[in-house]
Amino acid sequence: MMICNADRVRQWIDENEVTALFADGLDDAVIGITRDLSTGAYRVVYDTARVVQVLVNDKGLDYDEAVEHLECNIVAAYVGDSTPVWLFLPKIDEEDD
C-alpha cells in the first residue's frame, strides 16, 4: 500500500511537533508542506488541478462548477497564518521539434 502525500505530511508534522491546517476531503491533492518565513507558520501545499479532480470525482461537480468552487470557496478562504497554499501550475504547450 502506497502512502499518500497527505499521510507523509501528517507524519512529518507529528515528528517535528509543528502545526498546519488541512482542507477537509482534499488529501488526494496534497503535494507537500512549506514554511512561511515571515510568520514562521507551516502551510500544507495543494495542487489546484488535483483539487478540481477531487471535486469532480468525489463531489459530483462538473468541471466548471469545480473550478468556480475552488476559486470562490477554497482559495479565497483565509483561516489564519496556517491557511493552506494553493499551487497553480501553468500548462505549457510543447512545440514539435
Write the pLDDT tens digit of every residue in 2-15: 557 899 999 999 99
Residues with Cβ within 8 Å of residue 59, at least 6 apart in sequence? 25, 66
Cell of 44: 500544507
Whether this prediction's pTM lies above 0.85 is answered by: yes
What are the beta bridge partners of residue 43? 34
pLDDT band at 92; cut points 50, 70, 90: confident
pLDDT attached to residue 86: 97
Q: What is the DSSP letter of 28?
A: G
Residue in the structure block whose three cell numbers are 505530511: 9
Which pLDDT tens digit goes with each residue over 5-43? 899 999 999 999 999 999 999 999 999 999 999 999 999
User: What does the alpha-carbon distance between residue 82 and residue 11 come to, in Å, rounded to a whole number?
Assistant: 17
